[in-house]
A = this chain, B = another copy of it.
Amino acid sequence: MRTLILVGHPDLRHSGTQAFLHEAAQALTNADWWDITSQAVTTPAQIAQLQGEMRRYDRLIFQFPLYWYSLPGVFKQWLDTVWTAPFVSGRPGEAPALAGKELGIVVTFSQAAEDYRLGGKEHFSLSELMRPLAALGLAAQMRLLPLFPVAQFAYMPETKRQRLLVAYAQYLSLPAGTHFADRARWFSDWLTAHASEDQEYAAWAAALAARQEQLTDLHDTLAEMRREEDDRNGG
């Protein structure tokens, strides 16, 4: 599973949410990370190169803060430029470049998640507001992953951030549609494997602020999430 995270944020350097996600992606996954706002794309050669690089991944993630109910302008402008019509829809007789690949959407916002629903403060669900991106994914013949919303990161207590860390790493790396028990096992295995490779684990631990209890905490979080899932399933 090769994953590419396309991050479009007008003020990336000052975003605590994106810094957290970046750290998680680096420490816990092999996903690549593009800061598209730093890509000066002006020539056809640059566009062709970026298109070529995107082809090499199995999963693309659009990651951005919600700006007026959609992508920030800077992200949209990049899409308008780099995702040309032939790239998205294919040339006659050819499959589109991204056909069969997966498209994930990680959208962060400062409102409460429950504001986005019928009769809620923001009137529409996030799934409704993301329709243009769904349409783009469908035009490219990509498979849509379930939306990954991150609400009010700034107010998130540490335990919830821990869960976000696990869920985000899984979103980037796990095959789609994996059952929860398998997802948990996969991640647990991943942690164990990396814990035995001293160097990798050291880097991971350092990236996670070098807290010694991190690994245990993650295992505990996983165990807790699994218990809740079992309870929900009446098991």
Residues of A within 8 A of B (CB): 10, 67-81, 83, 88, 122-124, 128-129, 131-136, 138-139
B134 lies within 8 A of A80 (CB) = no
- Please, which residues of chain B bring their CB within 8 A of the CB of A129? 131-132, 135
B72 lies within 8 A of A80 (CB) = yes
- Please, which residues of chain B bring their CB within 8 A of the CB of A78? 73
The answer to whether A77 and B77 touch (CB under 8 A), given A129-B131, A129-B135, A131-B128, is yes
CA distance A77 to B75 in the complex (A): 9
**Copies of this polypeptide in the complex:** 2
- Please, which residues of chain B bring their CB within 8 A of the CB of A135? 68-69, 122-124, 129
- Nearest-neighbour CB distance to chain B for A143, whole angstroms, equals 14
CA distance A75 to B71 in the complex (A): 12
B83 lies within 8 A of A76 (CB) = no
A68 lies within 8 A of B74 (CB) = no
B68 lies within 8 A of A73 (CB) = no
CA distance A123 to B80 in the complex (A): 20
CA distance A39 to B69 in the complex (A): 23
Which one of A75, A128, A129, A135 has the greatest number of beta carbons of chain B within 10 Å?
Answer: A135
A68 lies within 8 A of B136 (CB) = yes
A136 lies within 8 A of B69 (CB) = yes
